[in-house]
Amino acid sequence: MYRIAICDDDETFLHHLSRKTEEILSENALIRGTDFEIESFCEAAPMQRRILENETAFQLLLLDIELSTENGMTLAKTLRKHQVTCSIIYITSHRDYVFDCFDTQPLWYLLKPVDFEKFRDILLSDYRRNYADARLVLKIEGRLISIPYADIYALEATQHLTRIWLKDGCRDWNGALSALKPQLPTFSFCQSHNSYILNLSHVKEIQSADALMDDGRTFPISRRYHDQTLDRYFAFLKL
């Protein structure tokens, strides 16, 4: 799950930024509580404690720099000193800090009022980067197998098994497709048929009853799932 922490002492702006962040991710077929979560902080200290207790608590921090009694950049320096590697976007009213923040390795520096079109591009880019190397880990024939999501073309329910179609061949997992579905990133995987889930990153074209993949293979799209698959594919292309 992609976890975002927002820290700003202006509660009105904090709420607005949280809502806009959720809107951007939801508009791109991501589900709060399944694909992402957002936590808000009015002060730096509680956020710092949370992260130092668990260095992977968040994948992205949205930080104001000048807080009422603290400094967001000081927080970021402390986190980097403790080898916390999550992305950081500074969102501030003050242009003066832009050259002082480089040693905290920020992803971006945005000025208020926020250009939310720019913020959208940065947010979605960071989301994609976080999931570029994500993997599905399964026990197959007594061994744990790690399969990069990017290598999966489709998953098929067949004969009480789930067949995982890969670029070169396939792997069979002794379990139901419905059990695997919650583990798949919803931004790139879409159910196209009662028995099939497609990886949209390999779809070249949505046809009337099939999806043409980038390697020339086709997988079925049922009438029931056709419109949903088409909508999800267009949403994916916008990411």
CA–CA gap between residue 46 and residue 141 (Å, rounded): 45
Tallying the residues shown for the chain, one arrives at 239
Check residue 135 and give its pLDDT: 84
Collapsed DSSP state (helix, strand, coil) of residue 206:
strand
Collapsed DSSP state (helix, strand, coil) of residue 20:
helix
For the entire predicted model, the pTM comes to 0.69
Q: Divide the 239 residues of the chain into consecutive groups of 10 and give the mean pLDDT of each group.
A: 93 96 88 89 93 94 86 90 94 79 88 95 89 82 89 94 94 94 87 97 95 96 95 85
Check residue 186 and give its pLDDT: 82
237's CB contacts (< 8 A; 6+ apart) are none
Omega cis (within 30) before 113: yes
Place of tokens 């190397």: 133
Using alpha carbons, select from 27, 224, 8 the residue that is nearest to residue 112.
8
Check residue 116 and give its pLDDT: 96
Q: Tokens standing for 28?
A: 């791109």
Question: Which H or E run includes 119?
Answer: helix 116-131
CA–CA gap between residue 150 and residue 154 (Å, rounded): 11
Check residue 69 and give its pLDDT: 75
- Domains, the chain, in order of start with CATH, read 2-131 (3.40.50.2300), 135-238 (2.40.50.1020)
Check residue 133 and give its pLDDT: 67
DSSP per-residue string spanning 128-193: HHHHTT-EEEEEETTEEEEEEGGGEEEEEEETTEEEEEESSSEEEESS-HHHHGGGS-TTTEEEEE
> CA 72, 74, 76 angle in degrees (round to 5)?
70
CA 206 to chain centre: 24
Name the burial class of residue 41, with classes exposed (0-12), middle (13-18) and buried (19+) by CB atoms within 10 angstroms of its CB.
Answer: buried
DSSP secondary-structure letter at 8? -
205's CB contacts (< 8 A; 6+ apart) are 211, 212
Place of tokens 């951007």: 24
